[in-house]
Amino acid sequence: MKIIKLDKKKDSIIKPESTEDLYALCRIIKQGDLIGAKTFRTEQKTSKKKKIPVFLKIDVERIGLSQEGDILNLGGKIIEAKDIVQKGHHTIHIKPNDIFRIGKKWSVLELEELKQSRSERSIILLIANIDERSAIIAKGGEKRITQICHIRKENAGKGYVHLDDAKYFEDVFDAFKEHIEEANNLIIAGPGFAPADFYKFIKTKKRKFMGKLLKNTIVDVTSTVGKSGLNEIISRGILDRVINNTILGEQTKQVQGAFNLLAKTPNLVTYGKEQVLRAIEEKATETLLISDKMLNDRDIEKIVEKAKKIHSGIYIIASHHEAGERLYEMGGLIAILRYKL
């Protein structure tokens, strides 16, 4: 995330640089925020009614991500536009590397999330979860994985033979070809020999299209293909090999460290709003771990404000991975203490 200008009273200017940034902005932007960006709107003062590029500002009413997670859709009432376009409602579509303006009353948690997103290293990952009959193509990053499409080999039934491997591998490659340029890592995983055979195919037949991505490819094994196969890529640590030392790796270490400390030295860990607040008031809190699902909680915001005054470390943990789920199940708030209370 690139923060071109941050102004708590006027418009801030932001440039998301990855799908992970869009995901963070989806949590940060709220109804009633003012968003301004270049978009396309039908010109009214002409009989052709053609769409023209124009700067619009809207009062946000709807926030959501596209199914693939690569477009942030912000809908609302137009409050600023040129006279040549009709006022009303409009949806602004924000993609990675689009620049937009935002006017809002920033909470301390939103600013912390923005700060954390700014420091993240962008990982754009492609996944081919493949066996001899079908393949799932997915794209993701440090915080989540989204399925792009499902390819099935022609005539892949019980009487399966290997005659159509080249055509099948072509279809799988074509499914993620358009994402190669933006990706910096590729995982090919699945049961049997298909992952190794597909890697050999792209290495020998598609090398000129792969560029640096070929050097950043991992071939591994999962027991199945599909949603379970993608979950296995995460749970077995295959994904961790790619994103090690990134923000998700750091978040996982922080959460796992807190649970290990809770098991071995429980007096150095506390959780729950009342207990954490007491630890902060005693100036005993060294680090706060907060689930991203708690960002709209006013009590959590007050806790964070007090924690910042005593220079506690603050980590907002994404809930789209196992460590984040464990944190949320514990109430979404854990404090690691400097000393026993």
Orientation angle between helical segments 194-205 and 165-177, nearest 10 degrees:
70
pLDDT of residue 282: 95
pLDDT of residue 143: 61
Question: Buried b / exposed e across 22-41, counting CB within 10 Å, b at 16+?
Answer: bbbbbbbbeeebbbbbebeb
The DSSP result for 235-276, as a single string, is HTTHHHHHHTTSHHHHHHHHHHHHHHHHHH-GGGEEESHHHH
Q: How many CA atoms lie within 13 A of 68 on its CB side?
A: 14
> Measuring CA to CA, which residue among 212, 213, 221 is closest to residue 192?
221
The three-state secondary structure class of 312 is coil
**Reported pTM:** 0.60
Which residues does residue 13 pair with via DSSP β-bridges, in sequence order?
5, 101
pLDDT of residue 243: 61
The three-state secondary structure class of 2 is strand
Residues 6+ apart with CB under 8 A from 336: 257, 258, 261, 268, 269, 285, 286, 287, 288, 289
> CA–CA separation, 135 vs 190, rounded Å?
9
pLDDT of residue 210: 93
What's at 230, amino acid-wise? L
DSSP 8-state class, residue 218:
E
> Measuring CA to CA, which residue among 65, 71, 57, 63 is closest to residue 31?
63
Query: Does 3.40.50.720 match the CATH number of domain 125-243?
Result: no
> Taking the domain 248-337, which CATH number applies?
3.30.1330.30
**CATH (one of 3.20.20.70, 3.40.50.300, 3.30.70.920, 2.30.30.870) for 2-104:** 2.30.30.870
> CA–CA separation, 108 vs 264, rounded Å?
32
pLDDT of residue 156: 57
Q: Tens digit of pLDDT for each residue in 69-113?
A: 789 999 999 999 887 788 899 999 999 889 999 999 998 888 888
> CA–CA separation, 232 vs 328, rounded Å?
21
Domain ranges of the chain: 2-104, 125-243, 248-337
Assigned token pair, 273: 């709003």
pLDDT of residue 245: 46
pLDDT < 70 regions, the chain: 45-48, 119-122, 142-143, 155-163, 240, 243-249
Question: What's the CA angle centered on 314, arms 94 and 22, to 5 degrees?
Answer: 10
